Structure formats: C-alpha cells, structure tokens
Structure 1
Amino acid sequence: MYLTTSIPYVNSKPHVGHALELIQADVLARHYRLAGHEVFFQTGTDENAFKNVLAAESVGLPTEELVDRNAATFRSLAERLNISFDSFIRTTEQRHRRGVAEFWKRLRSDDVYTRRYAGLYCVGCEDFYLDKDLVRGLCPDHGTAPKRVEEENFFFRLSAYQQQLERLIESGEIRVVPTTRRNEVLRFIRSGLEDISISRSSERSGGWGIPVPGHGSQVIYVWIDALINYLTGQGFGEGNEWERIWNSETRKIHVIGKNIWKFHAVYWPALLLSASLPLPDEIFVHGFLTENGRKISKSVGNTVDPFRYIDRFGADGLRHFLLKAVSPFEDGDFSDRRIAEVYETELANGLGNLVSRVTSLCAKSAFHGRPSGVLTTPNLDGLASALQKYRFDEAAQVLWAEIARLNQDVARVKPWDLLRSGRVHELHAALGHWIEGIRRVALGLLPFLPESSRKVLDSIAGVSIQASQPLFPRLSGLPPESGRPD
C-alpha cells in the first residue's frame, strides 16, 4: 500500500488543519501495518509556489531561507504528532526537480501545446478562476480579488480525457470518498473540461520554480510540479526503483482536503494517462477545520497554532479530538473549550481513570497475571470496517464504547468492597477480565493514540502489575471559548 498526504505550501507556518490531514493518514498507515500490510507512507512540503516569493519579500528574507525555515517547521509538526511517515519529500530537492522534468518529457507530445492566455489568477489558490466561479468578484476560498494575467503558456489538452475520466470515476476504478465528493467530481467533468495552463512565465514567478525542459523562460505550474511528488518521492526519474511502489498492483491512496479534489481527481489522472503511468486507486477527501464556521487557513489569516495544543494536551490529546470529535467528511468547528472538554471527559475521566483504577487495584491486591478461565473479549468488530470507509470518528467510537462499558463494569462490581471484605478470588477474576479488556482496547488504540496506548500496554505487561502513572494529567481549568491555550 502507498499512502500519501497532500503537500502544503510553506509560505507560512503550519496550522491545525495540516495536523488533521497528517493524523488521518497516520491512522490509516498504522492500522494497515498492524493488519499485516506493507505500507509506504509519504508526506512533505510544496515549495515552488509564487506565494513563497511574495511571503519572503514581505519579511525581507531570501525565498530559499524562508522556504527552508518553514519546511523544517512542517516536518517538526509531523514528528511532534508521532506521524509514522517513511518519506518526507521537499519539492525543492534535486531528486524532485529531475523527476518533474522526466515526467514532462513523458507527456504525449500532442497533449502539450502553447497559446496566449488571459485569465483571473488567485495567488492564494495558485489557480485560475472564471468570472462565474467568483463570489462578488472575490475568490470563494480566500475572499481576495484575483489578478488579471495575460501571457503565453504551455497548455495540457485536458479536454481529450473527459470521457476516460468520467468512466474512471463513475466505475469506481478511481474511488473518490465520500460519495458527495465523487458526485462533485462527476458534475465537474460532465460540465465540460477545458484545456489547462501548465506553465507560468518565469519572470512573473520571480524566477522561482522548476523550468520547463528546453524553455527557460517558463516554469512548470506549481500544481503540476506538486502532484508529481507522489512519484518523485519513490525515485521517479532516477532509475526504476519507483516502480516497486507506483504500479498497478499496489493500492495507492491519496488523503487530501476538499478544496483540492479537482487537481487530484481530474488533473492528476489525466496527466498520468498522458504519461502512460498507473493511476491512483482511492482519493479520500476530508472537510475543513473551521473557527466560528470559517475555514482555518493561512490565506484567510485565522490560523491556529498546533504546537500550542500539543504542548497543553499532548500529541495524543490533539489526535483524539481531531479523530473522534471531528467528522472526517464534513467541516468541523475547532475551539479551545471543546478540545479541553473532550480531553477531560474522554481521556482523563474515561481511559485514564479506567487504567488508573484497575492497575491500582492490581497492585493493592497482589494480582499476578490473568486467572485461568474463559474471559469475555470486547467487541471491536466495527473497527476495521469503519477505517475501511475512512470513518475515523466511528472507529474511535467503537473503542470508546468499550472503555465506557469497562468503566461501568468496574462501578457495578465495586472492587474496593471486594478488597476490603477479603474476597480476593472474586476480585482477581474481575481484574483479569478488566486487564484483558484494557489490553484489547489499547491494541485497538495503537493507530489512534500511539504514545498513550503503548504506555497502557507497558503498564499491564508484567506478571506483577503496578499502579500506572496518570496518562492524561488534569487541566488547570477550561479555557474561555474565544481564547487560546496558555
């Protein structure tokens, strides 16, 4: 299996929306590895955009210095979140530049041509818009007025692939999830595909980008360059090793946001068809994180720093909220109070309290391992099927339902009364059942809460179980609704 995230622009630092996509993809990678699949997981950064040039100019830095600095921060975010990536690709790397040039040369010669073009260009989206696509003359995503651009560019004959693309999406040969996004893609294709500009003037791009082979006055359109990272990260353009992963047999999954499905579900397959290369198998399209209903975005200017949330709630605290409390398919509102409440209720009072109570009872009653006999195992059957459908929230709910059931069972049995009355045999039988339940839950949680689940498994691994340290320390208090973590 080959699993990828989209690669974000590095014109500024990451926000919590980037954390959402990294975490979702990481759960899939960890889940399928645990299920015995060979998984290669790639993420990275998109560094050849003109917006990087503008951002560097605004702070008085050379473009390369700004890009290097912010790319390092994106990688640091992935590491702080315990993202289990196998490759981190930067599109300014020479391996990527060589691969992009090779891809360009593989495109069918009659699919690429030059013509003069005039259009409305949004730097925030790095994309052209038609007048009908604007909202009161403004970009629907960024709320800014696109600039009118006129220049001669290379074009790709996207219109020639309309029927093939419609068949690929409609048949499910390329599976787009959820169905609402699949239907959007089909409507877009059926409305009629126009040829697309795939280069930009090098002068207008500030000389930043990958030159069109043999045409130094043009740089390759950043979105075309960026899509090819899914190949160059595997060595495309440097021998044949990439074919081990990007082939017709390997299941290839792209995890992306809802604002870029056009590039991944329409442009990318058409380019691959033109280059006679295998197609992706699945495209999972997630919603946005919002703040008071508005998309959290660097371009919008309402970014939420994920590092501050990791510092306060831990990586697993942020992971849990984004996986269980946010719908994978729809937009989800993010607020300080909401994440704090979920942390206290589900992590500290739910899982943390369960493990603390049971391991403390094991230590006080000298419980040594599981007793003999048949133990009831939790029903986690829905876990794999939920993840197969990219329903991270439903998969997490399967686990939290079992945590709630175990906590209810502890309350019903009243183990402290058993300990005080000397009914140790009954107590140990109950503890054996709960330890087994906790073990199964912790195994199920490995893709979701990798750090905490390992701590739980370690705490119950020995013959002599000792009281565990608090998994999720109590917060000093709930933050105000409009505030940020201290």
Structure 2
Amino acid sequence: MTETLPVQKPTLFALPTSFVSLRNSQLPRHGAPLYVTTPIYYVNDVPHIGHAYTTIAADVIARFWRFLGWPTRFLTGVDEHGAKVAHSAKAKNIPPQSYVDEMAKVFKALVQALDATPDDFIRTTDHRHHQAAQALWKALEVKGQVYLGTYAGWYAVRDEAFYTDAEIQEGKAPTGAPVEWVEEPCYFFKLSAWQDALLTHYKNNPEAIGPKERYNETLRFIESGLKDLAISRTKLSWGISVPTHVGHVMYVWMDALTNYITALGYPDTEQEYYKKFWPNSVHLVGKDILRFHTVYWPAFLMAAGLEPPARVFAHGWWTKEGQKMSKSLGNVLDPFALIQHYGSDALRYFLLREIRFGQDGDISEQALVKRCNQELGNTLGNLAQRILAFIHQYHPEGVQGTAHTPLDPQHEALQTWGRRTVVYLKTCIEQEDLYGYIDLLQTAVQQVNGYVTEFEPWKLRSLPEKTSYLSQGLYSLCMFLRDTALLFSIVLPQAMGKLLKQMGEEIEGAQGSVHRLGAQLLPGPWPKPEPLFTRWEPLV
C-alpha cells in the first residue's frame, strides 16, 4: 500500500475524465494479498476506545479487500506477558495464567461486539507463539546478533520500554510513564549494527511508514543514533523463556512483535499463509508504539534473514472533550457501554468519520449523536426510506429495468456509479484514508437525495406519458441504493445488511461481491421497508 496524492473525487453526474464510457467502467483487476493487523493489546486492564478504534479500522480494510475478492488475512489478539501484566495479576491475587485467560475472553468479546471479522485471534501464551518467538531468538543467535551484557538504566513498566538518561523528563519517560532504575544481566540485540540498513530501507521505500509525519519521526530517531537493545530480563519470570539461556525471559516487545509471523506459521516459512501474506502486511498501530514497529521489529527481521513488513501505519490518539482519558479523571469511555447504547454501526461510523485516520481527535457523545443523526439518519436513512417507501406504496410488484437506450444521462450515471466509484474507494483504502472512503459515499448520497427532490416521482406517477421515464428513474435509484449498501457495508455491516434484505438481497457471502455492483436488481416484490436507523440520544 502506498501514499499518493489525493485522488480526484468523482461526482455523481460529472464523471472523471479518466472514464470514457459509462457502460464500460472497469472494476479493479485482481490484486496482491493483504495481511492487515492490529497491535496485540495488553491485557493489564479492560479494553478502551483506542482498542476499538484500531480494530474497526483494520476490519474495514480487510472487509474491502475481501469485497474485491482478493486474498486477505486479518489478525488481532492480545499480549499476555510482561511486568505490567504480572503486576495486574498480583493485584487480583490470582496466577498470571488465570488472569490472562479471563482477560482474553473480554478482548474477544469486544471484537465480536464491534462486528469485526478477524481471521485469527492470537494470544502470546499460545504454544505456537512460544515456538515462533524462541525460533526467532535462535535465528538471531545463530547469526551472531545477540550477546550477553548487563543493563543499567531506566525502565517504564507501563510502556514496557527502556529509556536513556537523555529521554527522562522530570523523572518520567517521554510518554509520562513513571520509570524505575533497573540493573540486571541480560542479552543484547545488536541494534546499532542495523542503523544504516534501516535508513537505506526507508529511503528506498518511503511508503513503508505512514502517515508522512510518522515516517519523518522514524528517520529522525534512527539518524540520531541507535544503541544496542536489551532483549532479556532476569528479574521477571512471567514471559517466554530464552531457549538457550536458563534464567532469562525474553523482553516482552521481542516476544510480542513476533506474533505477526507466528500467525502465518513461522518458523515454517514454506507454510501457505507465510508464503502468501508475508511481507504483504499493513500493521496498524497507535503512534505511541511507532518505534517498536518501525525500528526494533524490522531490525529483528532483517537480522534473522527475513523481510521487514511492507507498511506500518500509525494512527493518532483520542481525547474526550479536550482532556486525555484516564481513570483518575473518571472520563474513560467504555466501548461496550457505547455499543450497547448506540449500536456497533454508530461507533464504527463515528470513529472513522470524525477525523482522518492518522490524526488526533476528540470524542464526545454529543458529537457522536449529532453526526450519526445527521449523516446516517437524516441523509442515508432518509434516502433509502424515500425511495423504497414510494416503491412499496405505488409499485408493490417491484421495479423493472427498461430496454430503452440510451438511458437518460442521470439515470445512466446512477446505474454505473458503483462500478465507477469503487476504483476511487480502492485508492482510499490503499492510503488508509478511511475518512475519505466514507466522504466519497456520503457526498454521493447527499447528491442523490437532492436528485430525488428534482426527479419528483410523486408527480410523475400521475403523468401517463412519463410512465417509462418514471420506471427507468426508480430502477436507477434502486441500483444506486443497492450499490451504496454494498460499498457502505464494510463500515456499517448491520444497517447495510438490513437495507440489502429490504431489496431482496443478502450481505452474506461478501467475498468478491464487487461484481454485484451495477448488476441487475432482483425482481420484486420486496419486503415493506423499515427505517434503517433510529434517532440517537446521548447516553448521559
């Protein structure tokens, strides 16, 4: 996936100049496999809105690739090792394994509540992951990339990260996390030896990190000079044992990052999933863990003789009404409560629509209610109800396509809109521009709402000489509505599944559904339409 200049937006009735013929618009050709991942989430506490955000974004990208019928693998999961997980288990006075078993169930429940569709859910306590992480360690050791030393420095349990004296500000890590002084024997990875290789890789592949400011941030960090990285602990027992050195536990980030290849069958690099999907990967991460994914992870891989990931995209942080969310402030948003009250579609839509993916944003329930009522209820829901309710009342047998050629230009634009627009939507997904994807669809829906007012079907039905024109227009509007439902289903699976059923179609079996765009509608009669959305009110 690459970053390019923003694409020209296709308006509904003014086609992009790249399309010569309305009828012969080309669907995207068969594409490369895509492996999209979330970070594996720490289970030291219950899920928060940030976990939901990344999961939703990854799900939308995976759903679109499947919609095109292209090979897709979507991975999420949980990180169950490290000091802060051990501390959380101790605070509850239960064994770490019992603690992570219960927390993994909660994170799986969030995935389900969000209507996310991962192909795999990985846990770092899985046997397969222990094997993969230890295999990576052995590969690094065989290649002379690991040596024994002593670590003396600052460590932040909250970040599970080591920091230099220069990075400590007022006794805290740059992230604001408290730090503690640690002295212990450990094994080091020769990170400094990979400084030039990393710089060369990123300068030759500027699309490997997005957005652009995160790319620049990574290069500045590498150019400032890399120091060897401590990759084992002896004062911690909750983790994966170093396979060749008794008493040492693998540094939690080396353990955690390996999950991306564990899930593809590593260390068996001839396994089907590994050969197909690595390194065709897009790691979606929060910007706070950028360094681990764009410096440590590719260095580990290159040192072991493996290819680095194709792309890492770091999104921003959410605040609530201008304040950082924290338990101490009592303003943490519970994604389960939001889903229970507003529904998963509303949360999915708001988080991807409120800001561009990659930027920081602010969330409030008032903003969620306003945006969803205006854009989903009053715009998208209104359009569907206007069209389908009219057809149910005056054409209960359904609407039929007409054989007249050429079609009215506006009706032809409606019928071919989906096939033309999917090319632009593909570019949005390739750039992780999820806001742009929604904006393209919403712009068209707004335009068609305006067109229905101009078309005035309620007047045309009383004019016998306009019968054919009315039938053609209603059929074209329904084709637009069906194609909108297909394209919007990756963001709004619940509501768009409902809309498709009201048109006699199904959302199930979305793999390769791109070929349904522009296809003839199923004959009626269709079920009586019901509103797609109810009016939202704030939870509090």
SS in 2 for 1:253: strand
Which has the larger displacement, 294-303 or 53-62? 294-303
The answer to whether the 8 A contact 2:279-2:309 is kept is: no
Structure 2 CA distance for partners of 1:163 and 1:233, relative to 1, 3 Å? same
In 2, the alpha carbon distance for the partners of 1:455 and 1:21 equals 25
2:266 aligned residue (229, 232, 236): 236
Which amino acid in the other structure matches residue 22 of structure 1? T
Pairwise CA RMSD of aligned residues?
A: 2.2
Which amino acid in the other structure matches residue 123 of structure 1? V
* Match of residue 241 from structure 2: 211
Structure 2 CA distance for partners of 1:99 and 1:447, relative to 1, 3 Å? same
Structure 2 CA distance for partners of 1:260 and 1:268, relative to 1, 3 Å? same
SS in 2 for 1:6: strand
The answer to whether the 8 A contact 1:174-1:280 is kept is: no
In 1, the alpha carbon distance for the partners of 2:335 and 2:496 equals 22
In 2, the alpha carbon distance for the partners of 1:78 and 1:299 equals 26
In 2, the alpha carbon distance for the partners of 1:242 and 1:19 equals 31
In 2, the alpha carbon distance for the partners of 1:65 and 1:430 equals 61
* Match of residue 454 from structure 2: 412
SS in 2 for 1:376: helix
Q: TM-score, normalised by structure 2?
A: 0.83
Residue 254 in structure 1 maps to residue 297 in structure 2: no
In 1, the alpha carbon distance for the partners of 2:278 and 2:454 equals 51
Residue 472 in structure 1 maps to residue 472 in structure 2: no
In 1, the alpha carbon distance for the partners of 2:387 and 2:207 equals 47
Offset from partner CA, 1:304-326 (integer Å, 9 cap, x none)? 11111111221111111111112
The answer to whether the 8 A contact 2:461-2:470 is kept is: yes
Q: Give the CA deviation at 1:173.
A: 6.8
Residue 360 in structure 1 maps to residue 422 in structure 2: no
Gaps of 5+ in 1: 480-484
In 2, the alpha carbon distance for the partners of 1:228 and 1:246 equals 16
In 1, the alpha carbon distance for the partners of 2:324 and 2:304 equals 35
The answer to whether the 8 A contact 1:173-1:281 is kept is: no
Which amino acid in the other structure matches residue 45 of structure 1? V
Which amino acid in the other structure matches residue 214 of structure 1? T
Where relative contact order (Cα < 8 A, 6+ residues apart) is larger, the structure is 2
Residue 3 in structure 1 maps to residue 36 in structure 2: yes
* Match of residue 399 from structure 2: 369
Which amino acid in the other structure matches residue 227 of structure 1? L
SS in 2 for 1:212: coil
Which amino acid in the other structure matches residue 70 of structure 1? M
2:89 aligned residue (49, 56, 60): 56
SS in 1 for 2:116: coil
Q: Give the CA deviation at 1:345.
A: 0.7
Residue 274 in structure 1 maps to residue 303 in structure 2: yes
In 2, the alpha carbon distance for the partners of 1:260 and 1:312 equals 31
The answer to whether the 8 A contact 2:158-2:178 is kept is: no
* Match of residue 510 from structure 2: none
Q: Give the CA deviation at 1:302.
A: 4.6
Offset from partner CA, 1:16-41 (integer Å, 9 cap, x none)? 11111011111111111222210111
* Match of residue 57 from structure 2: 24
* Match of residue 91 from structure 1: 124
Which amino acid in the other structure matches residue 460 of structure 1? M
Q: Report percent identity of matched pairs.
A: 36
Q: TM-score, normalised by structure 1?
A: 0.92
Residue 115 in structure 1 maps to residue 149 in structure 2: yes
Q: How many residues align?
A: 474
* Match of residue 254 from structure 2: 224
Residue 336 in structure 1 maps to residue 397 in structure 2: no
Which amino acid in the other structure matches residue 136 of structure 1? E
Which has the larger displacement, 243-252 or 125-134? 243-252
Offset from partner CA, 1:77-113 (integer Å, 9 cap, x none)? 1111111111100001111111111111011442101
SS in 2 for 1:283: strand
Q: Give the CA deviation at 1:133.
A: 2.1
Which amino acid in the other structure matches residue 414 of structure 1? E
The answer to whether the 8 A contact 1:200-1:221 is kept is: yes
The answer to whether the 8 A contact 2:41-2:77 is kept is: yes
Which amino acid in the other structure matches residue 6 of structure 1? P
Offset from partner CA, 1:356-390 (integer Å, 9 cap, x none)? 12111111012523331433233625311111111
Alignment of 1:10-409 (within 5 A): 10-109=43-142, 110-141=144-175, 143-172=176-205, 175-201=208-234, 204-205=235-236, 207-237=237-267, 239-240=268-269, 242=271, 244-246=273-275, 251-296=280-325, 302-366=331-395, 368-372=398-402, 373=404, 374=407, 375-377=412-414, 378=417, 380=421, 381-409=423-451
Q: Give the CA deviation at 1:62.
A: 2.5
Q: Give the CA deviation at 1:240.
A: 4.8
In 1, the alpha carbon distance for the partners of 2:277 and 2:37 equals 16
Offset from partner CA, 1:249-297 (integer Å, 9 cap, x none)? 7522211111111111111111111111122111111111222344446
Structure 2 CA distance for partners of 1:95 and 1:301, relative to 1, 3 Å? farther
Which amino acid in the other structure matches residue 470 of structure 1? P
